[in-house]
Amino acid sequence: MNKIYKILIGLICVSVIFPACSPKESASEDITPRFSKLLNIIHTAQDKPARGQGYFTDQGSWMGFTIPENDFRINGFCGPFDLDHRQWISHSFIQVGYTNSNNEIIQPEEFVQKEVAYYPGRAILKSTQKEIEIEQTLIFLDARNTMLRCKANQQIRFYLKGRFVNDIGEEPVIAANNILEYKLASGEVIVLTFPQYVNLDLDMDNKSYTVNMQKEAAGLDVVISYFNTEKDYVVTDKGYAQSILSNGQSAYDSVIARWNGYITKNLRDDMPESYNRIMVKCIMTLISNWRSAKGGLLHDGVVPSHAMGYFVGFWAWDSWKHAVALAHIEPELAKNQIRTMFDYQSQEGMIADCIYTDTLENNWRDSKPPLAVWAVNEIYNVTGDKAFLEEMYPCLVKYHKWWYQYRDHDKNRICEFGATDGTLEAAKWESGMDNAIRFDDAQILKNSDGAWSFDQESVDLNAYLCYEQTLLAKLASVIGATFDVENKAEIVREYFFDKKEGYFYDRQMNGDFIREQGPEGWTPLWTSIATKEQAKDVIKIMFDTTKFSTYIPFPTVAADNPKFLPEGYWRGPIWLDQVYFAIAGLRKYNYVKEADNYTDQVFTRLDGLNEDKPIHENYDTNTGKRLKAPHFSWSSAHLFMMYRDYGKNLD
């Protein structure tokens, strides 16, 4: 890595340009401390990462940090944790002590943890050792760089130390006297940049370093950087970290302003404070799951959950849902969330189920329910960005038409979920409801090479496609295009509605209804294709306390179904996307009071939602118990939407 050092020494530090703040993003009006204790990230690093553990991360970084437990005296944040490869780079990369007037080193272990806090956008650790008090604040400046700010209650000579715990590709090297660099075996480069006036020493036998400041100061800033590759480091760094150290306060103010902006532009004065806190928790969850472009991920996006190793990628219908919420939080991220999936659109128009940094892991066995146009429409409504609309419109039309070409077995203009490999498993995945009761007896039919369909036609799929037809026609008029697909709403609402039971059901190819009541039955309400009379009948069933009006409302199958399982995967628990579609559907048919009441049930009864517990993938409908995947993005996105919709008629 010597070439890196030569380049670094020759670089001229450039001034740091921070994003402009909107009028609401004033650092002098910091309301983030009002939203403390929303998420508990207190967890001491161990050799193996804890399953489901959440981390403090921001700006799309692939690094995460935690706050150590009180009795684990390291006087530093735990981490960084490599969110891509699921390993600790260090149990605590920067531990803080000082050198006293007798030139004795007061080790970090001698400090006692006094107070910790996790506010939106920053983590804080306060500690004491006799008369010395030190406050450490960790913030993310961008996807690559974090800054640790240390402040003491008096002038001291700071002493820092840290240790590496995982295999590295090359030994750490001191560069430019105050920069420590090393390379992970997987190719990423980790860099620590200290102030200029330090004594930096390496102890390779113990895989550790120490830093002694050469003069006293009341404060100290250090930058921790993570680069995807060595080339990325050389090309993009250009002295940025060093320039941050000379503009630490400006960097800090920019982060605080950004988070104040996220919150204030979405905060409602007419909502209970407990609901405001839920909204902010949603934002924190979505932003913590933001990952920047890396490897096969060509644009930034949001993973389903950074806490679960099997979710380190972008999924299609997750992405559409994330983007709808992000349009109101971080609009450019919302746009990139859309782009990153369409980066891999096939020649035929298909969108992959999921994509990863390693493209060999991308899943092309199936797609996912078509909600992309809904997301793009929301982004346009918020931003008015016509250029983005023009960029995405042809891709959206191509994907929309793909369904009718490759997922309409009998060419009756009604589509089916299916797969590219002829398996029932992949076809169920394509529905998004992997284990739904309605698919228990489904069979698979070949349409053509690489295209297979269920032998049943699904109401939710076709309702989504009708909604897309309405929105695509609208967006076409904005950009002066022509959308040449007929709207099939009348066909769909008549075909799937069972007049005998007053509910929308999937149908077998022979025309028989599959009478398993699930959330697909209210999708025609959310997509506004049901008649008022049909909606009235469906809502009667939705309001039935033996079916869907349960303790946590709107489970994934009616509670009186013999196969109902409160903790069964897509066979009883509630998924908040389907709950949102139900509640928003009620709003579209002017059942505003009822929609608000159901939102109240969700906001007050989900376990841990009003405490410091993470938002989960799904919940027990009878108790509100948290079930799978904590720190879950689409749950957060839909809770955020429920908050925004509260009290509104969406007709």
Task: Check residue 7 and give its pLDDT.
Answer: 34
Q: How far is it, in rounded angstroms, from Cα 296 to Cα 359?
A: 5
Helices (H), 305-409: 316-326, 331-342, 372-383, 386-406
pLDDT for 253: 96
The reply to whether 1 falls in a domain is: no
Helix, strand, or coil here: 107?
coil
Residue 34, pLDDT above cutoff 60 = yes
In a domain? residue 417 = yes
What's the pLDDT at 118? 97
Instruction: Collect contacts of 44-48 with beta carbons under 8 A, ≥24 apart.
Output: 44/68, 44/69, 44/72, 44/78, 44/91, 45/78, 45/79, 45/81, 45/88, 45/90, 45/91, 45/92, 45/165, 46/88, 46/91, 47/88, 47/165
Q: What is the DSSP letter of 155?
A: E
Q: Are residues 531 and 552 in the same domain?
A: yes
User: Looking at the domain assignment, is residue 598 inside a domain?
Assistant: yes
Q: Give the pLDDT confidence of 460-516 residue by residue, as tens digits.
A: 999 999 999 999 999 999 999 999 999 999 999 999 999 999 999 999 999 999 999
Q: For the residues 562-583, what does the mean pLDDT come to?
A: 96
Share of the chain above pLDDT 90, in %: 85
Task: For residue 564, name the pLDDT band (cuts at 50, 70, 90).
Answer: very high
Across-strand partners of 213?
198
More confident residue, 420 or 183: 420
Give pLDDT, residue 242.
86
Domain final residue, candidates 262, 288, 322:
262
Looking at 158-237, list the stretches that DSSP marks H as alpha helix, in order from N- to C-terminal side.
230-236
Q: pLDDT at residue 39 above 90?
A: yes
Buried b (16+ CB within 10 A) or exposed e, 573-584: bbbbbbbbbbbb
Q: Per-residue pLDDT for 197 more than 70?
A: yes
Instruction: Check whether residue 150 and residue 272 sit in a common domain.
Output: no
pLDDT, mean of residues 178-182: 91
Does residue 21 surpass a pLDDT of 80?
A: no
* 314, 331 contact by CB (below 8 A): no
Residue 473 maps to which CATH number?
1.50.10.10
Residue 150 — very low, low, confident or very high, per pLDDT cuts 50/70/90? Answer: very high
pLDDT of the residue at 17: 29
Q: What are the angstrom distances between the C-alpha of 92 and each of 45, 172, 210, 288, 497?
A: 8, 16, 13, 20, 59
Average pLDDT, the chain: 93
Q: Is the pLDDT of residue 584 over 60?
A: yes
Contacts of 377 (CB under 8 A, 6+ apart): 471, 474, 475
Residue 14 clears pLDDT 90, i.e. is over it = no
- How far apart CA 448 and CA 443 sit, in angstroms, is 16
- The CATH number given to whatever domain includes residue 64 is 2.70.98.50
In a domain, 587, yes or no: yes
Per-residue pLDDT band at 630 (split at 50, 70, 90): very high
CA-CA distance, 651 to 648, in Å (whole number)? 9
461/507 same-domain check: yes
Tell me the pLDDT tens digit for each residue of 75-113. 999 999 999 999 999 999 999 999 999 999 999 999 999
Q: Is the pLDDT of residue 178 over 70?
A: yes
555: which 2 tokens?
Answer: 């489970």
In a domain, 5, yes or no: no
Token pair for 420: 């590219």
pLDDT tens column, 283-323: 999 999 999 999 999 999 999 999 999 999 999 999 999 99
Spatial CA neighbour of 584 closest among 617, 553, 546: 553
| CA–CA distance, 49 with 43 (Å, rounded to integer) | 10
Residues 342 and 425 in one domain: yes
Same domain membership, residue 460 and residue 341: yes
> Mind listing the pLDDT tens digit for each residue in 237-247?
767 888 889 88
Which are the contacts of 379, defined by CB distance < 8 A and separation ≥ 6?
Answer: 323, 327, 331, 334, 335, 338, 385, 388
Nearest to 585 by CA among 642, 522, 643: 522
What's the confidence (pLDDT) of residue 474?
A: 97
Asked if the structure places residue 135 within a domain, the reply is yes
pLDDT number for residue 3: 39
Please give the average per-residue pLDDT across 533-556, as a whole number: 98
pLDDT beyond 90 at 645: yes
**Residue indicated by tokens 């096939």:** 346
Instruction: Specify the amino acid at residue 564.
Output: F
- Residue 651 counted as domain residue: no
Distance in angstroms (rounded) separating the CA atoms of residues 221 and 245: 6
pLDDT (0 to 100) of residue 167? 63
In a domain, 3, yes or no: no
The total domain count for the chain is 2
Give the residue from 556, 592, 562 showing the smallest Cα distance to 574: 556
Residue 18 in this model has a pLDDT that exceeds 70:
no
Residues 467, 539 within the same domain: yes
Where is the domain boundary, 246, 262, 278?
262
Least confident of 235-239, 336-340, 526-530: 235-239
What confidence category does residue 51 fall into, taking pLDDT thresholds of 50, 70 and 90?
A: confident
Looking at mean pLDDT, say which of 63-72, 198-207, 383-392 comes out highest.
383-392
Task: Quote the DSSP letter at residue 421.
Answer: S
pLDDT score at 182: 87
Q: Which of 13-22, 344-353, 495-504 has the lowest mean pLDDT?
A: 13-22
Task: Write out the residue range of the structural domain in which residue 69 sits.
Answer: 33-262
Kindly state whether residues 363 and 380 are assigned to the same domain. yes
pLDDT in tens, 431-445: 999 999 999 999 999
240 and 278 in a single domain? The answer is: no
The mean per-residue pLDDT over the stretch 113-131 comes to 97
Kindly tell me if the per-residue pLDDT of 25 is higher than 90: no
pTM over 0.85: yes
Determine the Cα–Cα distance for residues 353 and 366; give it in Å rounded to an integer: 6
Q: Are residues 216 and 312 in the same domain?
A: no
Question: Quick count: other Cβ atoms within 10 Å of Cβ 103?
Answer: 8
- Is the same domain home to 515 and 420? yes
Q: Residue 203: its pLDDT value, please?
A: 87
Q: How far apart are CA 105 and CA 96, in angstroms?
A: 11
**Per-residue confidence band for 168, with pLDDT thresholds at 50, 70 and 90:** low
What 3-state class would DSSP assign to 180?
strand
Using the 3D structure, point to which of 204, 232, 262 is the last residue of a domain: 262
- Look at 5-19, 79-93, 452-466 and tell me which has the smallest mean pLDDT: 5-19
Model confidence band, residue 620 (pLDDT cutoffs 50, 70, 90): very high
Please, which residues bridge with residue 221 across strands? Answer: 149
Q: Are residues 608 and 459 in the same domain?
A: yes
Same domain, 477 and 465: yes
| Residue 13: pLDDT band with limits 50, 70, 90 | very low
pLDDT for res 66: 97
| In the predicted structure, residue 170 carries a pLDDT above the cut 80 | no
